[in-house]
Amino acid sequence: MNINGKKAIVFGGTSGIGLSATQMLSEKGAHVIAISRNPEKLTQLPKNVTTKKINVLDRDAVEKFFQDEGEFDILVNAATGGKRAVGPFLSMDLDGYKASFDKLWGYTNVVRLGTKFLKDNGNIVLVSGTPARKCRPGQIAISSVGGAVEAFARGIAPEILPKRINIVSPGIIDTPMSPLEGTAREEYYKKATSDNLIPRAGTPDEVAKGIIFAIENEFITGTTIDVDGGCIIS
């Protein structure tokens, strides 16, 4: 797909991986709508980018948005959705475990309500994460959600043909999702990635390049592209 001149919608497009995807799509000539709950935090908008304030969990708002926008070409969802629970499953707060699935419900809302407005040669990219297929201690909640997201994309790929849907699965990426600062942040990323084949945190741009690849390559659907420094096999 030639991105130039296309209309792209990026949920979670105002921070981290989604923001990098928004910037790259805009550099390639797309008209982008970047969506999040607090888009006003994005003070400098790249060329051809507008923002919209929507919570992906608000089904009525998502439905109205797509109806108002009409046809479009590219749908990316990198919105984290809600809170993430960490820790061992047997002692985990079950409401926290359940809340982690808000990411899945956000993804299913936008795919369900957006696909009918996606052009036939259009495509969707969702963002999962390495824990989907490699669960480290304490990651059972995000692992379960990531696995569900990947199964969802594989399962729905035949149903939406000729439209395509793919997953990009990041490893540990240095984004505003982590609240740590300074040395604590450096130490966290160093420790968390020390066993990886490429022992460092990835950048949002490195993941966004995977998203762009999935958008441009018209011979892939229902697949997962790992951008993880070799984490999954280390």
Q: Please return the burial class of 167, using the count of CB atoms within 10 Å of its CB with bins 0-12, 13-18 and 19+.
A: buried
> Least CB distance from residue 146 to ligand NAP, whole Å?
7
Of 16 and 210, nearer to ligand NAP (C-beta) is 16
By beta-carbon distance, which residue lies closest to ligand NAP?
16
> Least CB distance from residue 80 to ligand NAP, whole Å?
4
Of 122 and 131, nearer to ligand NAP (C-beta) is 131
> Least CB distance from residue 120 to ligand NAP, whole Å?
27
CB atoms within 10 A of CB 80: 21
Of 14 and 221, nearer to ligand NAP (C-beta) is 14
> Least CB distance from residue 162 to ligand NAP, whole Å?
26
Length in residues, the chain: 234
Quick check: 57 and 12 in contact, CB under 8 A? no
Q: How far is CA 133 from the centre of its chain?
A: 16
> Least CB distance from residue 75 to ligand NAP, whole Å?
14
Pairing of strands 49-53, 31-36: parallel
> Least CB distance from residue 174 to ligand NAP, whole Å?
7
What's the distance, Cα to Cα, between the start and end of the chain in Å?
Answer: 33
Residue 25, token pair as written in the block: 């799509």
Of 30 and 110, nearer to ligand NAP (C-beta) is 110
- DSSP element (H, E) containing 187: helix 182-193
Of 6 and 103, nearer to ligand NAP (C-beta) is 103
Of 75 and 173, nearer to ligand NAP (C-beta) is 173
Residues that bind ligand NAP (CB under 6 A): 11-12, 14-18, 36-38, 55-57, 78-81, 103, 106, 127, 129, 170, 172-173, 175-177
Residue 83, token pair as written in the block: 């809170």
Q: Please, what's the b/e burial string for 213-231 (b: 16 or more CB within 10 A of its CB; e: otherwise)?
A: ebbeeeebbbbbbbbbbeb
Quick check: 163 and 180 in contact, CB under 8 A? no
> Least CB distance from residue 179 to ligand NAP, whole Å?
10
Of 35 and 157, nearer to ligand NAP (C-beta) is 35
Q: How far is CA 141 from the centre of its chain?
A: 17
